[in-house]
Amino acid sequence: MTLVRDLTDESAPALAQELGLTSDEYNRVAEILGRTPTITELYMYSLMWSEHCSYKNSRKHLKLFPTDGPHVLQGPGENAGVISAGDGWAIAFKMESHNHPSAIDPYQGAATGIGGCARDIFAMGARPIAFVGSTRFGTLDKERQRWLFENAIAGISDYSKGMNVPTVAGEVYFEDAYEGNCLINAMAIGQLREEKLIRAQASGVGNLVVLIGAPTGREGIGGASVLASAEFGASDDGESPVVEVIGVTGDPDEGRRLAEACLELLDKGLLVGLGDLGAAGLTSSASEMASRAGNGIEIDVTKVPVKEEGMKPFEIMVSETQERMLAVIVPEMLDEVAAVCKKWELLVTVVGAVTDTGNFVVRAGDEIHGEMPALSLADEAPLYDPAMERPAYLDELASFDIEGLAHPQDVAELNDTLLKILKSANICSRRWAYENEETGAHPSVVVAPGNDAAVIRIGDENSTRAIAASSDCNGRYVYLDPYRGSQIALAEAARNVSCVGGDPAAITDCLNFGSPEKPEVYWTFYQAISGLADGCKTMGIPVISGNVSFYNESAGAAIYPTPVVGLVGLLDDATKTCTLDFKDAGDVIILIGETADELGGSEYLSTIHNTVAGEIPQLDLELEYDVHGVVRALIGKGLIKSAHDCSDGGIAVALAESAIAGGLGCTVVLDDGLAPHASLFSETQSRIIVTCDSDSSDDVLVVLQEASVPYSVIGEVGGERMLIDGAIDLRLADCAYAYNNALKNMLEG
């Protein structure tokens, strides 16, 4: 076999630059190979050494994260992280971004983001059981933003329905900062028996490399890995990103059949290794599988089923066609593997073999189009430590004079303020989105969307075990204080899971930032992951998987730094859960935690004063940990009927949400000594509102006293009004109308 020489010493550097490799990176590639690279090799290196695939600007600092814990079976480094869930069951989960593709085609961008996450899950041997979405858009007064939002939600919904996997939780924010660069983060969760855990490794010299699923087309060539490694420009209208439209589409039915086939193959013990073909396609999957096993791998592109005649070797190697998996099998199992794939109406093709050379060889029959060390592709991208500089805006915004603003004083003004916040885009009900996904009726869903976290039953039909899941991040907080804002994202995710009875076990993350080449952005990134890492260590919550998404900018303007935390908690008994809705008239309302005057970065400032400024709330992680623990204890003992965290919008919004959900009003007295607007809308952390019947209240108070957490009895459930301490006097029906109809009204323009 002969090596194809399709580039000269002059043409190779020019192509490398066009593909995004720096001159130093190109020289490094030539040094590794000891010769001028081929076209195929340059494409493969350019993608594997892109920011999206290599994490070359973040990998050094990601080592700050704690990755070990009592439940961890598989930490970072595989397709997904895996934790033990008890009784031999395990949970795999991973969060990924599909931001840049979704800004071009929100429907397919979101759908293929969900599909890619699902493949990460069953690549570990786990059956997908739930999706969680975390999305950000510009404000809905703009037609393009409504189009992005509606189509992204439809893409998530249709793909999850097609796979018969519910989308059970998530969050949606609308801020001007995301207008030019929406964020579509998707988290997939799956269950498996611990003994069925498999890794994406190309083990066993002489074993066959098999491609399963859709034929390969030209979709996404130069796609996710390139798009996610460069910022958008802007078109003449200042809104639409100017990039080449790349047609990556998803087929949820084929995704479902692919999952079923892979799970059957794993259950029958027919696979040695299994990997997902996502960004960079065959290149990433094959090189990573070979590198993890310390082996080489050979791919013959003439064996790869293609959609179009005349595809070049580099196109086949970097195509991002969806619904494909790469498997390693022993030769004797080929017929059985083929039979399973035929049953699920999937193509299955032997495209290569595992070797002992350590090299990744790409050939077309007798012509070699690439031969390079697999390790150099997967693990030896150059690592950078960009310059950092504290943003100048932080001091100015932190010292903003909140008290100098005109604040509501009387009941009429405070009523109007609460109604405006309830129907604001970042507070109002997301029912339009999650009802469109029809998740509540899924048999595994114990606590449906619309609560602080979702609860999903796991195991077989006799199992009482469950998991709780939530995703959280307030980008305004991180913008104003990246260290503490990231810790608040972790704290709120854990608080939400605790409110339904889940014990936080581990997190995945999706770290969304602007260009790392800008010192102020990179300083923010470093502070954010430092805060998140320190918070995880203090709370004993490991990071087992994740994703970094840089270059989220449009026309030079970066998004708010948005390190989304996806958290999974464990429940031994699925019957011992809690929801946020008020249950019965006469129930006692108790606030766990206490309120301070903390309006910096709040929804109150944003909605009422159109301001993002001030010092964000303080966070005592030890108090936060204790509050979570005592709420879980109260749920476990069956002493409380509802639990709801106080976060965006403050205690007034939390009370209204519980009242609206339960169809019962409340009478509340807030004896905190604060001005009414601060008492109602402060976003002080570590607070949870719980209710219990009057006969249980003494027992609840004993538990709270023994836990040494601050608390106060603040009122009673009942009636048809929201009555708060001489400050709020509203019909519950008016609150419900404002809250439940706002999103639909905004979408109608």
Three-state secondary-structure class, residue 331: helix
Alpha helices in 405-510 (DSSP H): 411-422, 431-436, 475-480, 482-499
pLDDT of residue 222: 57
CB atoms within 10 A of CB 245: 8
Nearest to 328 by CA among 262, 267, 244: 262
User: Distance between CA atoms of 645 and 623, rounded to whole angstroms?
Assistant: 14
pLDDT of residue 110: 95
Query: Per-residue confidence at 247, pLDDT binned at 50, 70, 90?
Result: low
Nearest to 187 by CA among 438, 453, 435: 453
**Model-level pTM greater than 0.85?**
yes
pLDDT of residue 723: 98
Residue with tokens 């994260």: 65
| Residues 547 and 100: beta-carbon distance below 8 Å | no
Q: 321 pLDDT exceeds 80?
A: yes
CA dist 123 → 208, 326, 375, 476, 697 (Å): 17, 9, 21, 35, 48
User: Distance between CA atoms of 327 and 122, rounded to whole angstroms?
Assistant: 12
CA end-to-end span of the chain, whole Å?
A: 64
Which residues are part of the catalytic machinery? 52, 98
Helix (H) or strand (E) holding 335: helix 334-343
Q: What are the backbone angles phi and psi of residue 316, rounded to the nearest 5°?
A: -65, -35
How do residues 65-102 score in pLDDT, each as one tens digit?
999 999 999 999 999 999 999 999 999 999 999 999 99
87 Ramachandran zone, left/alpha/beta (phi>0; psi -120 to 50): left
| Residues 500 and 451: beta-carbon distance below 8 Å | yes
Counting Cβ atoms within 10 Å, is residue 84 exposed (0-12), middle (13-18) or buried (19+)? Answer: middle
pLDDT of residue 227: 47
Helix (H) or strand (E) holding 738: helix 732-747
Return the half-sphere exposure (C-beta side, CA atoms, 13 A cut-off) of residue 174.
21
Q: In what order do the strands lie in the sheet with 2-3?
A: 2-3, 367-373, 359-364, 296-300, 348-355, 208-213, 324-329, 273-276
Q: In what order do the strands lie in the sheet with 89-97?
A: 72-74, 81-86, 89-97, 183-193, 127-137, 167-174
Q: 245 pLDDT exceeds 90?
A: no
Q: 711 pLDDT exceeds 90?
A: yes
Query: Per-residue confidence at 132, pLDDT binned at 50, 70, 90?
Result: very high
Q: 223 pLDDT exceeds 90?
A: no
Q: 435 pLDDT exceeds 90?
A: no
The stretch 21-40 carries a mean pLDDT of 97
pLDDT of residue 433: 85
- Rg (alpha carbons) of the chain, rounded to whole number: 26
The stretch 642-670 carries a mean pLDDT of 98
| Residues 346 and 258: beta-carbon distance below 8 Å | yes
pLDDT of residue 278: 83
Looking at the chain, the whole-number percentage of residues with pLDDT higher than 70 is 96
DSSP assignment of 686-698: S-EEEEE-GGGHH
Q: Which structural domains are found in the chain, ordered by start? A: 2-51 (no CATH), 199-379 (3.90.650.10), 407-428+578-749 (3.90.650.10)
Looking at the chain, the whole-number percentage of residues with pLDDT higher than 90 is 91
User: Distance between CA atoms of 172 and 424, rounded to whole angstroms?
Assistant: 12
Counting Cβ atoms within 10 Å, is residue 727 exposed (0-12), middle (13-18) or buried (19+)? Answer: buried
How do residues 356-399 score in pLDDT, each as one tens digit?
999 999 999 999 999 999 999 999 999 999 999 999 999 999 99
Q: 159 pLDDT exceeds 90?
A: yes
User: Distance between CA atoms of 54 and 398, rounded to whole angstroms?
Assistant: 35
CA dist 655 → 344, 660, 714 (Å): 50, 9, 11
Which of 249-258, 411-420, 530-539 has the weakest average pLDDT?
Answer: 249-258
How do residues 263-311 score in pLDDT, each as one tens digit?
999 999 999 999 999 889 999 999 999 999 999 999 999 999 999 999 9
The pLDDT mean for the chain works out to 94
